[in-house]
Amino acid sequence: MPDAPRVVIVDDQALVRTGFRMILAADGIDVVAEAADGDAAVAVVRRTRPDVVLMDIRMPGTDGLEATRRILADRADRADEVAPPRIVVLTTYDLDQYVYAALGAGASGFLLKDATPEHLTAAVRLVRSGDALLAPAITRRLVERFATSGGRSAAPHRELATLTPRELEVLEALARGLSNAELAERFRLSEATVKTHVARILSKLRLRDRAQAVIAAYETGLVTPGSDSRGSTGSSGPG
C-alpha cells in the first residue's frame, strides 16, 4: 500500500506485539519496528520516524508515559520540519489518572487493549489523519468526572471569546465526539472547511490537538455532561 501508515509497537509482552503486528499488517498498515520498553521506544522512533506509535503504559524501566513525553520533546527540539508521531496509548487499565497522565504527556489517543481488531486499525488511521481518539468507555469516565466535580477552571476560558460563533459550534460538537465527516454533515460544510475550523480553534485556544480541545470544552463549561445524546460517545473514535 503506497500511503500506508508507518507504525511502531511498544509493549513489554512479545505475544501482544506479535498480535498487534498481525492485525495491522492484515489491514495494510506497515509496522516498521517494535520495542519492549520506553528507552528502546525512544531510540526506535528516532531511527524510524513513524507516523503512529502504539504505546503501552506499564513497562519495566521507563514507562509509556515518560517515553511519550521524551518522544514528543525530542521532535520539538529537532531543526527539521518532520511532524512528530501521533501516539496512541494502549492499556488494560482505564483508571482516570492514566487517562489524564497520557493526554498530559501528549498522547493523541487512549485505547483499551480489549478493543476489537477493527477498532485498533481504525484508531491508527484516525490519529494519523490528525484526529484524536478516546475509547467510548474513557470518554464516559471523562464526562462523569466533570459531572461530579463541576469541571475545573481552565486557562483557555478567556480565549473562547476569540472564537467565531461557528467555531464555538464546531468545538461543542467536536467535544460531543463527532468526527470530521459528522461535523461536515451537521453543519452542511465540506470536510476541508471543517478541518480549517478545527485548526483555527486549536490555534486560537493554544491547544495541541483535538484531545485537548475535548477537555477544554468541558473545563470551560462550553459543554456540560448529559446535555446532548452524543455526550457519552467516543471522541472522534471508531465505534
Full pLDDT tens readout for the chain, 239 residues: 448 899 999 999 999 999 999 999 999 999 999 999 999 999 999 999 999 999 998 898 899 999 999 998 876 555 555 678 999 988 887 666 777 777 777 888 888 888 899 989 988 998 887 766 766 566 666 656 655 555 444 444 567 889 999 999 999 888 877 778 888 999 999 989 998 999 899 899 888 777 778 778 877 878 776 555 443 333 344 33
pLDDT at residue 156 in the model: 46
Q: What is the pLDDT of residue 29?
A: 96
Sequence spans of domains, the chain:
6-130, 149-232
What are 172's three cell numbers? 461543542
What CATH number does the domain located at 6-130 have?
3.40.50.2300
Prediction pTM value: 0.70
Query: What is the Cα–Cα distance from 222 to 235, expressed in whole angstroms?
Result: 16
| The predicted structure's pLDDT at residue 215 | 75
* Confidence (pLDDT) at 232: 34
- Residue 66 φ/ψ, nearest 5 degrees: -65, -40
Residue 65: partners with Cβ closer than 8 Å, 6 or more residues away: 57, 89, 98, 101, 102, 105
Q: CA-to-CA distance for 236 and 239, rounded, in angstroms?
A: 9
CA 194 to chain centre: 18
pLDDT at residue number 155: 47
- Is the fold of 6-130 the same as that of 149-232? no
Q: What is the pLDDT of residue 213?
A: 81
Report the length, in residues, of the chain: 239
Strands 86-91 and 109-112, how do they pair? parallel
For domain 149-232, the CATH class is mainly alpha
Cell reading at 210: 483535538
CB 9 within 8 A of CB 55: no
Please give the pLDDT value at position 105. Answer: 78
